[in-house]
Amino acid sequence: MGIDEEFAERQLEIIRAYERLGVRPECTCTPYHVHNDIARFRDHLAWSESSAVSFANSVIGARTNREGAPAALAAALIGKTPNYGLHLDEEREPTLTIKVEGRLEDSDFGALGVIAGPLVKSEVPIFEFEVKPTPEELKQLGAAMAATGSVALYHVKKLTPESELYREPRETITIEWSEIREVYNHHCEPELIAIGCPHTGPKELARLAELLKEREVKRELWIFTSRRLAREHKEEVKEIRRSGAKLFCDTCMVVSPASERFKCMMVNSGKALNYVPKICGVECTLRRTEECIERALTGEKK
């Protein structure tokens, strides 16, 4: 990735310190892709990565607060976590209904999260969609809301595990399709196209491999996943790399200084759209996954 050697060594030093404590170092923001059984419905957890917290609470139906890294480590050491907040039934009740207009797909859910996060803040929303989101789309929604607000739990009517356990909220707001489209309105000419914030899972790797099959990228394309998934999906990884795209493991464009040398980045993630300008100082534009890949393949300016 072209990062500074000293920066890399300091990161490895942290990993080695965790290993000495008996921690298994699988560096990913999507541990539920790495281990299908890492969390189950009503399990009590102490997780610290905001998009993983959202997925655990909302999609899996497990229970965790937004922990800081020291608190999560303390919980691992003693096998306990404080019983408050989202571990309690009464704190998981939806307080706001959000009706979403339009037939959303792919990164539209990240764009929705960019809008909903600041509206919801730390409340618990329940969404009403015209279409049924996939788990991957719910991952993007939760990640964007966690990045732009403080949303650690949301429900989706007739879909997520706890969506029918609580009474209907009194307050309802509607988010129109035109508002979602506005999130795509910022344009800049991308020098880098980056996918995998949060990390790509098996279905996303398969889709990317299919989109890149027997084609060659003409623009810098980075894809991020976990080391374990890369080992387990060798054919997809081979197809992605054969195109000239770069697949990186155990990191991403946000948490390393590697992307700071670029002026504009194209992403398919609402979370990245929020974080990249703030953390990396790089201008950012949002597009659907297929559009991102097509731009990397054609290299054309638009």
Show me where the domains of the chain are located: 28-184, 192-298
Q: How confident is the model at residue 302 (pLDDT cuts 50, 70, 90)?
A: low
SS3 at position 292: helix
List of residues 6+ apart from 10 with CB closer than 8 A: none
At residue 256, the pLDDT reads: 83
- The residue type at 201: G
Output the average pLDDT for the chain: 96
- pLDDT tens for each residue of 103-121: 999 999 999 999 999 999 8
Read off the pLDDT of each residue in 123-129 and give the average, rounded to a whole number.
Answer: 97
Q: Sheet holding 283-286: strands in order across?
A: 246-249, 220-225, 192-195, 264-267, 283-286
Could you tell me if residue 42 is left (phi over 0), alpha (psi between -120 and 50 degrees) or otherwise beta? left
Strands (E), 76-198: 96-100, 125-128, 155-156, 172-175, 192-195
- pLDDT tens for each residue of 30-55: 999 999 899 999 999 999 999 999 99
Contacts 24+ apart (CB under 8 A), 89-93: 91/124, 92/57, 92/63, 92/124, 92/153, 92/162, 92/166, 93/124, 93/166, 93/167
Q: Give 272's strand partners.
A: none
- pLDDT tens for each residue of 230-288: 999 999 999 999 999 999 999 999 988 899 999 999 999 999 999 999 999 999 999 99
What's the predicted TM-score (pTM) here?
0.95
Lowest-confidence range among 6-10, 104-108, 194-198? 6-10
CATH number of the 192-298 domain: 3.30.499.10
